[in-house]
Each structure stands twice: as structure tokens, then as C-alpha cells.
């Protein structure tokens, strides 16, 4: 596998898949700048949504690519909100434990009536799971809001990927993530608008893993981007 092929897509292993992934990223780079490490998140967002305009909806705070890649190299946990985002995280190029929040906190959800995702985030945070982790919220606005609460209460994830989708609370939840990221200097990648979702969140997280692989291979010097 050549370096270029390896870059194209960690998920592509056969010749045809690598050809498709390479051609696809070439097209993406025709439309999205390739100047900063954060541009790789914009490229990946375009790649995963199939929409060249999506690049303009991505917001990066506190150098999320460097922080995320370092967390990957340190084998910190990747914690997603729901099963679907977890399923989208590549198994290649990292040794991070990957876990999902949903499934935890069932009692809290039943007692309070809050969403299962919010309860699961609060429950995992109580166990210290988010400290130093890559916190990924792809689907659930209330999961992102709960994560913001945890950060206000002192939790410090290594990086946040938050792209909840939809018409109710999704934008608000990402705005709140940006506020706490700003206030407590947490590296974060989010999007604006009502779009988003687990596929986008997984793709952005996979790009952090990809940059970590490139750093490990000496193709990217993370210190040069700090």
C-alpha cells in the first residue's frame, strides 16, 4: 500500500475501494482547502456528507486535530453517544478503547424522564470515563447538553466531536458545547446549522485517528501545528 493509498481511507483495503477513496478525496480537495490540519476535518465532513458546502459549517476550537490525534496516540478512550456512531469508528490505525454511552444510566433515565442518552452521559461521567477521552456526540442533542454540564462541573475531555442533528435542541446543544469549549479551553469540532449526525461524527473522529496514524508514520509533525 502506498502512502497515498493509505491516506485515502483507512476503511478501504481492496484495490477498487482504495481507487474509489482516492478519487473521492481528490475531488474533495478540488473544493476544500488543504492548508491547515483543521482543513482535514472540513475535507472529511465534505467527504462523508457528499456536500461540498458542508465545509463552511464546520467549527474548530482549540486545535482539535492536534489534541485529538495526541489522544489517539495516547490510546485514550473514544466514547460515543449511541451505537451507530460507535459502529462508524474505524478499527484500524489506533488502539483506543471505543465505547458507547447509551445503555448506561437506565435507572436515572427512568427516574427523571430525561433522555436515555443524557442519563448515560451523566452516568459515565460519574465513573470518570470522559476525563481525557475523545467525547463523540453524533446524534443526541441532550447527550451534548449533558456533556457540556459535565465540563462545567470539572470534566476535561481531550477533545470533543459534537454533531447532533435535527430541528429540536441540536443547534442549541452544539452552541453550548462551543461555549464551554471556549470557556474551559477544550479542543472541539462541531458544526453549525441543523444538519449533522452519527455518520459525520464518526467520520470526523476517524480523521483524528487518521492524523494520528500519519503522525506515527512521520508524515505529519503535530508539534509544528501547535
**Positions that interact with a copy of itself (CB under 8 A):** 12-17, 20, 23-24, 27-28, 47-51, 83-84, 86-88, 109-110, 113-119, 141-142, 165-170, 193-199, 202
The CB-of-147 to a copy of itself minimum distance in angstroms stands at 16
Three-state DSSP class for 127? coil
Q: Closer to a copy of itself by CB, 84 or 184: give it.
A: 84
Q: Closer to a copy of itself by CB, 92 or 156: give it.
A: 92
* Residue 38: closest CA among 193, 122, 161, 196: 161
Q: Which residues contact 216 (CB under 8 A, 6 or more apart)?
A: 73
**Pairing between β-strand 78-80 and β-strand 134-137 as defined by DSSP bridges:** parallel
Q: Closer to a copy of itself by CB, 87 or 156: give it.
A: 87
The CB-of-132 to a copy of itself minimum distance in angstroms stands at 26
List, in sequence order, the alpha helices (H) in 32-161.
37-49, 64-73, 83-88, 106-112, 116-126, 141-152
DSSP-based helix, strand, coil % in the chain, nearest 5: 55, 10, 35
Q: How far apart are the first and last CA of the chain?
A: 30
What phi and psi values does residue 105 have, to the nearest 5 degrees? 70, 20
The CB-of-183 to a copy of itself minimum distance in angstroms stands at 25
The CB-of-7 to a copy of itself minimum distance in angstroms stands at 16
The CB-of-126 to a copy of itself minimum distance in angstroms stands at 18
Q: Closer to a copy of itself by CB, 67 or 200: give it.
A: 200
Q: Closer to a copy of itself by CB, 17 or 126: give it.
A: 17
The CB-of-198 to a copy of itself minimum distance in angstroms stands at 6
What phi and psi values does residue 189 have, to the nearest 5 degrees? -120, 130
Amino acid at each position: 500500500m502506498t502512502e497515498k493509498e493509505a491516506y485515502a481511507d483507512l476503511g478501504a483495503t481492496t484495490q477498487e475501494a482504495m481507487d474509489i477513496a482516492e478519487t473521492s478525496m481528490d475531488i474533495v480537495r478540488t473544493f476544500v482547502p488543504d492548508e491547515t490540519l483543521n482543513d482535514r476535518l472540513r475535507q472529511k465532513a465534505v467527504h462523508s456528507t457528499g456536500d461540498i458546502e458542508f465545509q463552511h459549517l464546520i467549527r474548530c476550537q482549540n486545535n482539535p486535530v492536534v489534541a485529538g490525534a495526541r489522544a489517539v496516540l495516547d490510546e485514550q478512550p473514544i466514547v460515543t453517544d449511541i451505537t451507530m456512531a460507535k459502529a462508524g469508528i474505524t478499527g484500524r490505525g489506533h488502539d483506543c478503547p471505543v465505547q458507547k454511552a447509551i445503555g448506561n444510566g437506565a435507572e436515572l433515565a427512568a427516574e427523571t424522564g430525561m433522555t436515555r442518552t443524557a442519563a448515560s452521559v451523566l452516568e459515565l461521567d460519574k465513573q470518570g470515563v470522559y476525563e481525557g477521552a475523545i467525547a463523540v456526540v453524533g446524534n443526541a442533542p441532550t447527550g451534548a447538553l449533558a456533556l457540556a454540564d459535565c465540563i462545567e462541573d470539572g470534566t476535561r475531555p481531550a477533545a470533543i466531536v459534537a454533531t447532533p442533528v435535527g430541528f429540536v435542541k441540536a443547534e442549541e446543544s452544539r452552541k453550548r458545547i462551543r461555549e464551554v469549549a471556549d470557556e474551559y479551553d477544550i479542543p472541539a469540532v462541531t458544526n453549525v446549522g441543523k444538519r449533522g449526525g452519527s455518520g459525520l461524527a464518526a467520520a470526523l473522529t476517524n480523521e483524528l485517528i487518521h492524523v494520528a496514524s500519519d503522525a506515527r508514520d512521520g508524515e505529519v509533525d503535530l508539534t509544528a501545528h501547535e
